[in-house]
């Protein structure tokens, strides 16, 4: 009972500590990394020895992390190339639709929009600098958390438990962490599966409709789909905007398709 009470108190302390010192994303990255390693190791353990399966899991994780980094960079680079072109083609139709329905826009053409963006950047230069610094720090914290997760996965699990208060505390903490990791595993697996299904359906739609920028939109749909709600909104906005570069009719069809697959 004492060990269980101690672990119940430790969990909120760790969460408060992570919030106070801005370690929330790092903690989440570490948990997700360890979960992926553990799931992969259990897959390999079905066909090979435990030690071999452990190192195969690490190798697979490193390879998957490299592929994920490449995919993220591809999306970022593609957005820097595709988004300006998409904006230039879609903006005239947006302005025409706004004039048709009597909606006043804060800009009248692409040059006005560029001037607004430049003015906003100049006005918020200090905040942008602070935000970029925070993102850089957060990136390195996440890298450290992932490294710690890999080391913790490779390290021995501590052996058997003795009938002492310390080992009772360790056993109860390990049990709670194990149950939490299983919950994270189910959530993570579901999100990856949902994103994969959404990407396959969206890719089929884009290719059948002959939408431009498909090599950018397809990986962007998967990467953004890993983020619940916000990621789907971002990818859907990109797809509808791409449809608008072709015609209002194409944008309406793409919007209807996205509503159907997300509500279905």
Mean pLDDT rounded to a whole number for the chain: 82
1-44 tens-digit pLDDT: 666 777 777 777 877 888 787 788 888 888 888 888 888 998 99
Q: State whether the Cα torsion 240-244-245-249 is positive or negative.
A: positive
HSE on the CB side for 171, CA within 13 Å?
Answer: 13
Query: Would you give the distance in Å from CA 128 to the centre of its chain?
Result: 22
Segment 67-81 shows an average pLDDT of 81
222-256 tens-digit pLDDT: 888 888 778 888 888 889 888 888 888 888 899 89
| SS3 (DSSP) at 98 | helix
Q: Identify the pLDDT of residue 79.
A: 80
pTM value is 0.70
Contacting residues for 243 by C-beta, under 8 A, at least 6 apart: 209, 211, 250, 251, 252, 253, 254, 255
- Of the ranges 66-80, 170-184, 208-222, the best mean pLDDT one: 208-222
100-138 tens-digit pLDDT: 777 777 777 777 777 877 787 778 777 767 767 767 788
Contacting residues for 83 by C-beta, under 8 A, at least 6 apart: 238
HSE on the CB side for 47, CA within 13 Å?
Answer: 5
Distance in angstroms (rounded) separating the CA atoms of residues 34 and 153: 7
What one-character DSSP code corresponds to residue 61? H
* 159 pLDDT more than 60: no
Give the Cβ contact number of residue 160 at 10 Å: 7
Structure tokens at 33: 């990394």
Q: Identify the pLDDT of residue 12.
A: 77
DSSP string, 136-202: HHHHHHHHHHHHHHHHHHHS----PPPSSHHHHHHHHHHHHHHHHHHHHHHHHHHHHHHHHHHHHHH
């Amino acid at each position: 009972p004492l060990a269980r009470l101690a672990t119940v108190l430790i969990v909120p302390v760790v969460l408060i500590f992570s919030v106070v010192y801005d370690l929330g994303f790092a903690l989440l990255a570490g948990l997700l990394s360890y979960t992926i390693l553990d799931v992969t190791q259990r897959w390999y353990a079905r066909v090979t020895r435990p030690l071999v399966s452990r190192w195969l899991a690490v190798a697979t994780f490193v390879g998957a992390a490299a592929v994920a980094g490449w995919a993220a960079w591809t999306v970022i680079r593609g957005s820097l190339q595709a988004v300006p072109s998409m904006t230039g083609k879609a903006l005239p139709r947006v302005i025409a639709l706004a004039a048709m329905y009597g909606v006043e826009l804060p800009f009248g053409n692409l040059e006005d929009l560029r001037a607004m963006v430049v003015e906003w950047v100049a006005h918020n230069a200090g905040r942008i600098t602070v935000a970029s610094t925070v993102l850089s720090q957060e990136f390195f914290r996440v890298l450290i958390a992932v490294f710690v997760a890999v080391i913790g996965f490779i390290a021995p699990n501590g052996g058997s438990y003795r009938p002492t208060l310390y080992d009772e505390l360790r056993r109860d903490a390990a049990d709670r962490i194990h149950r939490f990791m299983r919950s994270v595993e189910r959530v993570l697996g579901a999100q990856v599966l949902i994103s994969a299904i959404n990407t396959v359906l969206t890719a089929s739609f884009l290719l059948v409709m002959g939408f431009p920028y498909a090599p950018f939109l397809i990986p962007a749909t998967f990467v953004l789909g890993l983020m619940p709600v916000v990621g789907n909104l971002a990818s859907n906005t990109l797809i509808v905007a791409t449809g608008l570069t072709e015609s209002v009719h194409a944008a309406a069809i793409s919007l209807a398709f996205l509503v159907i697959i997300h509500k279905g």
